[in-house]
Chains A and B, each alone.
Chain A
């Protein structure tokens, strides 16, 4: 069974631009969560999608948004990029919400210059 796939692996963007990251979950998994990882801050929760609906949202500004498609693939978008958005963005898929193992992708390394 294929694992969680994130594309692209690396991105370099300029301040003010926008970016879209993609996540393909494990087949059969309906829950996709996104996390921002920065040194010293650990894994900060962005949002969680289940059955094409956003079910939970973390404390990030409205510039961060996402969506989930009928095949459970998910995208996250960051508009008006800031230098502080430079981070590793990880998505994780699970068969269901809540109390179950989350399987992580390899992440997308975003650098804002």
Chain B
């Protein structure tokens, strides 16, 4: 089955700096790669996603890149703010003969220091 590795497990940045979180996946059939943000005591919520036919996607301060050949994808947050502090999860799933479920990485705890 699919296996998703996520690094780093914790990340501290100064307010205004950029943050990068990286993930790798194992199943070449995976074609959907979402990123979820979970604030303390709250449910995970989708912040951005990318499909395998796209190499990069941006939404204001957030961007995701995908390298299908290397089976890795990354989340980039620019001009970080204290409200970006949360746990971020990457995930991978596929739609095909197996319809693989959404498998998550172990998460990255991002702390933005004011």
Same complex origin of A and B: yes
Question: Majority SS of interface residues in chain B?
Answer: loop
Stretch at the interface among B43-51, B57-65, B69-77: B43-51
What B residues does A98 contact at CB under 8 A? 32, 93-96, 99-101
A41 to B49, CA, bound (A): 22
- Find the B residue at minimum CB distance from A44: B104
Whether A97 lies near B44 (C-beta < 8 A) is no
A positions within 8 Å CB-CB of B:
33, 35, 40-45, 48, 55-56, 58, 90, 92, 97-102, 104-107
Q: 15 new A-B pairs (CB below 8 Å) besides A41-B106, A92-B102, A106-B42?
A: A42-B89, A42-B104, A42-B106, A43-B44, A43-B104, A44-B104, A45-B102, A45-B103, A55-B99, A55-B101, A90-B43, A98-B95, A98-B96, A99-B32, A101-B34
